[in-house]
Amino acid sequence: MSVKYDPSKSEAYKALQEEALGDTVQEVRQPARTGVFSPQKANYNRIPHARPKSPAGSYFIRSVIAQPCVILFVTVNSEANARRIAMVENCFGSSGQPLAVPGRVLVGEGVLTKMCRKKAKPRQFFLFNDILVYGNIVINKKKYNKQHIIPLEEVKLESLADDGQYRNGWLIKTVTKSFAVYAATATEKQEWMAHITKCIEDLLRKSGKKPVEVHAAVWVPDNDAPICMHCKNTQFTVLNRRHHCRQCGAVVCGPCSNKKLLLPGQGNGKAVRVCLQCYDAASKVKASTPVNIDSINNKDQQRNSADSSGGDSSGDEDEGNKDESHDEPKFYSPLAR
């Protein structure tokens, strides 16, 4: 039996669309690549005249949903998405960079506790389909500063086991910096990690790029190291300052970190401070192929232009808003559900 039908004229089809994905769906006519609607999961009882009453009717419903000329694109409504992105830009004000670019979608937002150099602090995070943005909370939901922009194609996630007061955490590892974040609940952790992972996978699949293999070290918090982690002798004071090895993230004293190495993604193409152990190890395994300094400089400049904070791992140390209470994260696109 052949059934021809124009879904744009069907109230039942529109009801199915709204029931399944609400106002976060756009209908676009182009060759279908991925099916995103499951008729088996639709609640036909709540949709007038939508329940199939015969085999022909059943085929009728399925053909409307699955026909090659129609794809339900799981993306935020263009107007709603534009409004949300504009609100994020307004909250950062002149201290942030423009975020509205063609094809960019705000997937979700919420507050996570970021492990900074001195202690854990709340930060507002915004997940887009191609970048991860975060900043200091000045006024909750109204004003943020110290904007950081991380390209998702460089991100690698690594779950952390619960450790005392630090629960529901994971590592966000990138070429330029890596750090730990913590969600309020295990459910929020799962949601964040699932959405970020899905965005990364989609981005890499579309671009054809391979995941980045080398990432910056996670810095050990200052409070976790009262003495040098290498010589075990130097007590840190006002005069004996702490230093972080950019290669391994350890907290070391000045004499134990008086060497420098050229590390991709760090130092704007200049050599950065490393501990003696990392320097010795790198000296022994130097690659026979010379390092292309110009290539490193160009990549670093591109990364720095995307990060308006212009700082290193301690660049967002401002206290910001003292009120650490926050709502649950909001996800606008069912990418990982």
Please give the residue that has the higher pLDDT: either 173 or 304: 173
Residue 42, pLDDT > 80, answer: no
My answer on whether 178 and 264 are in the same domain is: no
DSSP bridge partners of 73: 26
Q: What is the CA radius of gyration of the chain?
A: 25
My answer on whether 211 and 257 are in the same domain is: no
Task: Reduce the DSSP state of residue 138 to 3 states and report it.
Answer: strand
My answer on whether 191 and 259 are in the same domain is: no
Domain for residue 279, yes or no? yes
Domain CATH for 264: 3.30.40.10
Q: Give yes or no for a contact between 178 and 194, defined as CB atoms under 8 angstroms apart.
A: no
pLDDT digits (tens, 9 = 90+) for 236-280: 999 999 999 999 999 999 999 999 999 988 888 899 999 999 999
Domain for residue 307, yes or no? no
pLDDT digits (tens, 9 = 90+) for 196-241: 999 999 999 999 999 998 899 999 999 899 999 999 999 999 999 9
> H-helix or E-strand containing 57?
helix 55-66
pLDDT of residue 268: 85
Tell me the HSE value of 28 on the side-chain side, using a 13 A CA sphere: 14
Q: Please name the amino acid found at residue 321.
A: N
pLDDT of residue 87: 97
Q: Residue 165: how many CB atoms within 10 A of its CB? A: 7
Q: Give yes or no for a contact between 89 and 98, defined as CB atoms under 8 angstroms apart.
A: yes
| pLDDT tier for residue 319 given thresholds of 50, 70 and 90 | low
Domain CATH for 156: 2.30.29.30
Question: Per DSSP, which regions of 39-176 are E strands?
Answer: 71-74, 106-115, 120-128, 131-139, 143-151, 156-159, 169-173
CA distance 145 to 318: 9
Domain ranges, residue 262: 222-287
Q: Please give the average per-residue pLDDT across 279-286, as a whole number.
A: 85
pLDDT of residue 187: 96
Please give the residue that has the higher pLDDT: either 185 or 293: 185
pLDDT of residue 196: 98
CA distance 316 to 309: 8
My answer on whether 79 and 210 are in the same domain is: yes
Domain for residue 315, yes or no? no
| Residues 6+ positions from 116 with CB-CB distance below 8 Å | 179, 221, 313, 314, 316, 317
pLDDT of residue 288: 46
pLDDT of residue 308: 42
Which pair of tokens denotes residue 69?
């000329």
DSSP state letters, 274-302: E-HHHHHHHHHT--SSPP-HHHHHHHHHH
Residue 194, pLDDT > 80, answer: yes
My answer on whether 80 and 201 are in the same domain is: yes
Q: Which of the residue ranges 35-49, 231-245, 295-309 would you say has the lowest mean pLDDT?
A: 35-49
CA distance 170 to 152: 16
My answer on whether 102 and 154 are in the same domain is: yes
My answer on whether 160 and 247 are in the same domain is: no
Domain for residue 28, yes or no? no
Pick from 268, 287, 306: which residue ends a domain?
287
My answer on whether 150 and 257 are in the same domain is: no
Domain for residue 41, yes or no? no
Query: Structurally, how many domains does the chain consist of?
Result: 2
